[in-house]
Amino acid sequence: MTLERRSLGRRLAALAFLVFIPLVSIEASRADTPAEDFVSVNIQKGLGILDNPSLSADERSRQFQNLLLGITDIKRIALFTLGQYAQTAPEADRDAFTASFQDYSVAVYRSYLGEYAGQTLKVIGSHERSPTDFVVATRVVDPQGGVMPLEIDFRVRTDTGKPEVTDLGLAGIWLAVEERDQFGSFLAQNHGDVRALAGHLSTVAQGYRVDTALMRR
């Protein structure tokens, strides 16, 4: 089974919440919990980087990527999306997949920055799943009223000693869970070859980079 690039991209774009940040503004609001504060503060950091006119395009991209990777647990997410294959694949294959997954995720969020232009993101609350597991709810609103408000939920884990985003939910659908299903289907039809999946993601990531470069011309 071939994974469609656009379908995968729209899901994996959500692995890191900063996909929504570059062209949205954050509405002033009080963060009532550490998890809410974590989401709010890092949204503002992302905006600060991307709105800095003194940075070149490459430097802006590099700093934004570093911020993204610093607040998301990419390895944890990557291994989760492998499902049962994370337990059976050789360590070298898991490492190769994690690297490709990171590269793919970054390429995807860059490709979709423009979809949320001019919208406003506001933290609206959170709930605790466990003492180290939180869901922070935000709402994306079109100031012009042309698009219905969209709620985006960020799952924040703190069991590694620092808060990290590990998943994102849209309309009740957790995207890492969706990706686990997609990858499981691919692997089931490719004899559980995790390296084949890693190679496929690398190819898809390159396609996104080409598309993004063409759009910037």
Q: What is the pLDDT at residue 183?
A: 94
3-state SS assignment for residue 73? coil
Residue 217 covered by a domain: no
What is the tens place of the pLDDT at every residue in 65-77?
A: 888 788 888 899 9
Helix-strand-coil split of the chain, %, nearest 5: 55, 20, 25
Region 28-45: mean pLDDT is 77
Question: What does the pLDDT average to over 151-175?
Answer: 88
Residue 42 lies in a domain: yes
Q: Find the domain containing 162 and state its range.
A: 5-209
Residue 134 confidence (pLDDT) above 90? yes
CA atoms within 13 A on the CB side of 146: 5
Cβ–Cβ < 8 Å for 179, 81: yes
Q: For the residues 79-99, what does the mean pLDDT come to?
A: 95
State the Cα–Cα distance between residues 213 and 192, nearest whole angstrom. 33
Sign of the CA dihedral with 173 first, then 179, 184, and 186 last: positive
Look at residue 192 and tell me if it is in a domain: yes
In this model, does residue 45 exceed pLDDT 90?
no
Distance CA(175)–CA(168), nearest Å, equals 6
pLDDT at 59: 86
Tell whether the model's pLDDT for residue 131 goes beyond 70: yes
pLDDT at 94: 96
In a domain, 215, yes or no: no
Q: How many domains does the chain have?
A: 1
State the CATH number of the domain containing residue 52.
3.10.450.710
Q: Name 72's bridge partners.
A: 165
Tens digit of each residue's pLDDT (9 = 90 or more) over 172-203: 888 889 889 999 999 999 999 999 999 999 99
**Length of the chain (residues):** 217
Strand, coil or helix: 61: helix
| 41 or 3, greater pLDDT | 41
What pTM, to 2 d.p., does this model score?
A: 0.75
Place of tokens 């993101």: 121
Is 216 a domain residue?
no
Please write the tens of the pLDDT for every residue from 52-63: 789 887 887 788
